[in-house]
Amino acid sequence: MKIKKFIKGTMLVHIMLIIFSFIMVGPFIWMFLTSIKTYEETIRIPLQILPKAIQWINYGIVYDKFPFLTLYFNTFFITLITIVGQLLVVSIAAYAFSRLIFPGKNVIFLMMLGLMMVPGQIFIIPRFQLMVQFNLTNTLTALILPNIFNVFGVFMMRQFFSSIPKELDEAAVIDGCGYFIIYWKILLPLTKPGLVSLGIMVMLNTWKELMWPIIVNRTMDKMTLSAGLAMLIGEHTTYYEQVMAGAVISVLPMIIIFAIFQKQFVAGIARAGLKG
């Protein structure tokens, strides 16, 4: 009886979980397997799943080609600053759009939303021209500055602010709070779930940003990981085993960090969600 129950309940769930985890981990396993093949094995038809002999040398080749520590630091640094900067700027803007009354508020907001409908590539050249005028080309600042503002973030955070009852503000005003204190002490803590999800989105977008670093920066010591790896993709021939070895080197620290702090990550997201 017990066994039957086990099979029906737990085992079915486990089988499903195992299947799904393989689907999720599959690309990573493939990335690793490709990274230890020879070039010929990566392009062989029909597909060759396991390499004949493990080619650790690919890692050496890629590691010698790029200053990985610098690339890693750059990527980490700009991601961190962008998240902090954007959460601050975006939430202040969202607060203004949600709570303050000023002439033309809705028109400005609509115009801003209009920006969301324009494909991002259009901004590349004007943005580059701005960076040239500010004398910021080939700097890490050039990678951070244009990403500090995010229209979608403002829209999203405005919705969060608007869902908080205005009575809270009124109570705070009676207690003698100014606009900034209301924002900082009363409303911001209540929008934590929004800030967390926005923060995660910003992190992903900054981490994988490819085109902009390549355009605005010129030397390897000012590039990010993804831009560095893209150098390996050739016009005619791409040595996939090297690209994948590079990819493993770049994601490994992230995976280790996640494995160590897994509990905190999950708890942080769950807690933020509950409070909202």
Partner 1 sequence: MKKIMLFVAVCSLMLSLIGCGKQNEVANISLMMWDEAQSPVIQQSIDKFNEKNEGKIVASIELVPWDSYWTKLDASLETKESADVMWMNVYLPKYASAEVVKPLDEYIEKDKLDLSQYIEGRVNAYNLDGKQYALPKGLDTVFVAYNKEMFDRYDVEYPQEGWTWDDMRTIAGQLRDKISEAGGAEYPIVMELDDQPSWMNFVVQNGGNYISEDGKTTGMGMDESVEAIQNMVDLMNEELMAPYTVLSETKGTDLFISGQGGMVFIGSWKASVLENSTLGADGNIGLIQMPALNGSNSSVLGGLGYCLSASSKHPDEAWELIKYITSEESLYNEAVNGIDIPAHAKAQEGYVKNFKNLDAQVILDASVTGFPYQSNGNFEWTSYVNDAVQKALSQIAPVKETLVEGATQAQEVLDELYK
Which residue ranges make up the site for partner 1 (CB under 8 A)?
A: 39-40, 43-46, 65, 124-125, 128-129, 132, 137, 210-211, 214-215, 218-220, 227, 230-237, 239
Q: Compare residues 86 and 226 and give the one whose CB is closer to partner 1.
A: 226
- What's the closest the beta carbon of residue 186 comes to partner 1, in angstroms? 44
Q: Compare residues 167 and 235 and give the one whose CB is closer to partner 1.
A: 235
- What's the closest the beta carbon of residue 137 comes to partner 1, in angstroms? 6
- What's the closest the beta carbon of residue 207 comes to partner 1, in angstroms? 18
Q: SS in 3 state form for the chain?
A: CHHHHHHHHHHHHHHHHHHHHHHHHHHHHHHHHHHCCCHHHHHCCCCCCCCCCCCCHHHHHHHHHCCHHHHHHHHHHHHHHHHHHHHHHHHHHHHHHHHCCCCCHHHHHHHHHHHHCCCHHHHHHHHHHHHHHCCCCCCCHHHHHHHCCCHHHHHHHHHHHHCCCHHHHHHHHHCCCCHHHHHHHHHHHHCHHHHHHHHHHHHHHHHHCCHHHHHHCCCHHHCCHHHHHHCCCCCCCCCHHHHHHHHHHHHHHHHHHHHHHHHHHHHHHHHHHHHC
Spatial neighbors of 191 by CB under 8 A, at least 6 apart, are: 91, 157, 160, 161, 164, 276
Q: Compare residues 27 and 46 and give the one whose CB is closer to partner 1.
A: 46
- Give 190: exposed, middle or buried? Use CB within 10 Å, 0-12, 13-18, 19+: middle
Q: Compare residues 86 and 242 and give the one whose CB is closer to partner 1.
A: 242
Contact 188, 91 (CB under 8 A): yes
- What's the closest the beta carbon of residue 231 comes to partner 1, in angstroms? 5
Phi-psi region of 47 (alpha: psi -120 to 50; beta: other; left: phi over 0): beta
Q: Compare residues 6 and 134 and give the one whose CB is closer to partner 1.
A: 134
- What's the closest the beta carbon of residue 178 comes to partner 1, in angstroms? 39
Q: Compare residues 143 and 195 and give the one whose CB is closer to partner 1.
A: 143
- What's the closest the beta carbon of residue 67 comes to partner 1, in angstroms? 13
Q: Compare residues 5 and 44 and give the one whose CB is closer to partner 1.
A: 44
- What's the closest the beta carbon of residue 129 comes to partner 1, in angstroms? 5
- What's the closest the beta carbon of residue 120 comes to partner 1, in angstroms? 13
Q: Compare residues 71 and 157 and give the one whose CB is closer to partner 1.
A: 71
